[in-house]
Structure 1
Amino acid sequence: MDKNANIFVAGHRGMVGSALVRRLRADGYTNIITRTRAELDLLDQAAVRSFFASERVDIVLLASAKVGGILANATQPADFIHQNLAIEVNVIHAAYEAGVARLVFFGSSCIYPRACTQPIEESYLLTSALEATNEPYAIAKIAGVKLCEAYNRQYGTRFVALMPTNLYGPNDNYDLGSSHVLPALIRKAHEAKVRGESSLVVWGTGTPRREFLHVDDLAAATVFVLENEVADGLLNVGVGEDLSIREVAERVAVAIGFDGQIVFDTTKPDGTPRKLLDVSRLARMGWRASIGLREGLEATYRDFMVRYGSDTHSEAAV
């Protein structure tokens, strides 16, 4: 990949987008194009087409999306399917119209059926029913995958879809109303520690298993895919190992220094029982994740403290 390529990182303020910008700059890519939502609303089709018509973009990294955990997906299903579909359709089609040959679309492991054989291979997509708690979001992301495949087949573009497992890391979302499980656990454990509480309440039974990938590893995988001229297809990105939510909560407590009891609220939903990705396709190409969970948790908590450590009240970490 040409170091002078003009790379548009859509969603550069989010956790994934900011990690992509960090990695690209560290690797010597300097022509990075970004726009805030105030400058370019990706839900506005005319604005997106105008942007691509006026800017010379060689590569698009489509990291912009509406994301959230179980609660957000359950209470905002229309927003999740509408906004994600609109962003994907607007950006992918405008990129094609402008002659952008390379694009990376970022999805999520929730695109796969709820009852998948484990670990989950890319070929399992659309083989059975989705998890009901995030079906609207998953359908939108599946549409993004199929958009990339369709444009490649019809127009000869080189659009790749990367499906990361559960992500965490710097610039994560710690709002308990919309965050994913690991940042929610970090915030809850921190607040329980600061308040001197004797217990930490975790949603569900603690038995579902989850795989966690540091966002900087996803950024590294993205650059690997681009530099190795991967032209199309769907690729899982993960670490190849998972833990129960109970084990994850215990590791978060250790990283943060909370030594109270972990209590599970079994009236709350568990979500998908297990989502372990088969990451052998990327491994055969020569890429593997390098950031372990302990190292990643400690670094993520340091980032949390830099951003929110001065205010230990509940309202701060949002």
Structure 2
Amino acid sequence: MPSTVFDLAGKKVWVAGHRGMVGGAIVRRLASEGCEVLVSSRKDVDLRRQEEVEAWLEKNRPDAIFVAAAKVGGIFANNSYPAEFLYDNLILEANIVHAAHKVGVKKLLFLGSSCIYPKFADQPIVEEALLTGALEPTNEWYAIAKIAGIKLCQAYRKQYGCDFISAMPTNLYGPGDNFDLNSSHVVPALLRKAHDAKEAGASSITVWGTGTPRREFLHVDDCADACVHLMKVYSDDVHVNVGSGTDITILELTGLICEVVGFSGDIVHDLSKPDGTPRKLMSADRLRALGWAPSISLRDGLADAYKAFLGGNYAERVQGNAA
């Protein structure tokens, strides 16, 4: 186990984007670290406004920042709102990173996404695959913004010696996820479809594409735990993949979700809809070498996500969220 290089105990820690699924999970995880957690709403600071971000950081002076704020969404949302997905994510990450440098924040972790990698990258995808090929067109706007965030952290580390690091989570799911069918990712979309079909007594549910693409999934609480671990033990310019290290086909995932929900109907494929990248499994070697591994199985995680949905712990955002 690597030694701690940044102890969170007694520190002031700002979780930017605490109202989102990932930010909320990080706030929950930090409760056991003995630190003071800072959060901010849109009323407190609009992250797209540089002067507001700088003023808020100058006033609150956090020791560390988790940049979990982002406009997020699935294939439909990315295709429908490319300008917002590129602009909002570029501007808010740039504002936070620059202001963090200006006020002397000691440590910053920027959260990206596995979509930063080339569409046909060798599997499993190592961190060094970044910028070695063309992106998946259906989410390139979001991907380009996240790549810029990685490079921004590297630039401030190189020029100013800032201890800014980046983590690239795989497909996440769990409490607080977005369940709007037009903008959600695959797990909440399928959970919602299976639930609605069960409640309606439908004979089938429809999924996009062939169901053959393979995807990796990680419960958001595992992601939060990994991010806190990286904040404490990691300090380098190379971004770190955060994933489970295993993958599953969309059809297999749909079957597992139907079991969890209790829907026994047929699975119908809408072949007019895109499959997206054929496979996306990230290498977990770097993170494992740093002493971290996930603890929540996919079945248990899906059951937890469905329980959260039934309990009302979810969001519905038509255009994603820039929390």
Smaller-chain TM-score bracket? over 0.9
Shift of 1:230: 3.1
Stretches of structure 2 that go unaligned for 5 or more consecutive residues are: 1-6, 319-323
Query: Which residue, 21, 25, 35 being the options, matches 1:19?
Result: 25
One-letter amino acid of the counterpart of residue 228, structure 2: V
Report what 1:312 is aligned to.
none
One-letter amino acid of the counterpart of residue 299, structure 2: R
Q: Secondary structure at the match of 1:32?
A: strand
Report what 1:118 is aligned to.
123
Query: Which residue, 209, 219, 228 being the options, matches 1:223?
Result: 228
Q: Give, in whole Å, the separation in 2 of the partners of 1:308 and 1:197.
A: 25
Q: Give, in whole Å, the separation in 1 of the partners of 2:313 and 2:281.
A: 31
The TM-score with structure 2 as length reference comes to 0.94
Q: Give, in whole Å, the separation in 2 of the partners of 1:201 and 1:308.
A: 25
Deviations 1:238-289 (A, max 9, x none): 0111001000000000000000001110100111111100010010111111
Q: Secondary structure at the match of 1:264?
A: strand
One-letter amino acid of the counterpart of residue 310, structure 2: M
Shift of 1:231: 4.3
One-letter amino acid of the counterpart of residue 5, structure 1: K
Q: Where do 1:33-48 residues align within 5 Å?
A: 33-48=38-53
The TM-score with structure 1 as length reference comes to 0.95
One-letter amino acid of the counterpart of residue 156, structure 2: Y
Q: Give, in whole Å, the separation in 2 of the partners of 1:153 and 1:200.
A: 51
CA 1:287–1:247 in structure 2 vs 1: closer, same or farther (change >3 Å)?
Answer: same
Report what 1:56 is aligned to.
61
Are residue 97 (structure 1) and residue 102 (structure 2) matched?
yes
Q: Give, in whole Å, the separation in 2 of the partners of 1:308 and 1:127.
A: 39
Stretches of structure 1 that go unaligned for 5 or more consecutive residues are: 310-314
- Count how many residue pairs are aligned between Structure 1 and Structure 2: 309
Shift of 1:290: 1.1
CA 1:229–1:240 in structure 2 vs 1: closer, same or farther (change >3 Å)?
Answer: closer
Shift of 1:232: 3.7
Report what 1:181 is aligned to.
186
Query: Which residue, 265, 274, 278 being the options, matches 2:279?
Result: 274
Q: Give, in whole Å, the separation in 1 of the partners of 2:138 and 2:108.
A: 29
Question: Cα RMSD between the aligned structures?
Answer: 1.3
Shift of 1:177: 1.3
Report what 2:162 is aligned to.
157
Q: Secondary structure at the match of 1:163?
A: strand
Q: Give, in whole Å, the separation in 1 of the partners of 2:170 and 2:234.
A: 23
Query: Which residue, 85, 92, 105 being the options, matches 1:80?
Result: 85
Deviations 1:25-66 (A, max 9, x none): 1x1334100001122110011100101111121000000000
Q: Give, in whole Å, the separation in 2 of the partners of 1:34 and 1:155.
A: 26
One-letter amino acid of the counterpart of residue 13, structure 1: R
Instruction: Report 1 or 2 for greater relative contact order, CA contacts < 8 Å, sequence distance ≥ 6.
Output: 2
CA 1:196–1:308 in structure 2 vs 1: closer, same or farther (change >3 Å)?
Answer: farther
Report what 2:134 is aligned to.
129
CA 1:168–1:308 in structure 2 vs 1: closer, same or farther (change >3 Å)?
Answer: closer
Q: Where do 1:227-266 residues align within 5 Å?
A: 227-266=232-271
One-letter amino acid of the counterpart of residue 179, structure 2: Y
One-letter amino acid of the counterpart of residue 275, structure 1: K
Answer whether contact 2:8 2:33 (CA < 8 A) is retained.
no
Deviations 1:128-157 (A, max 9, x none): 100001111100000000001111011101
Sequence identity of aligned pairs in percent? 53
Query: Which residue, 302, 305, 318 being the options, matches 1:300?
Result: 305
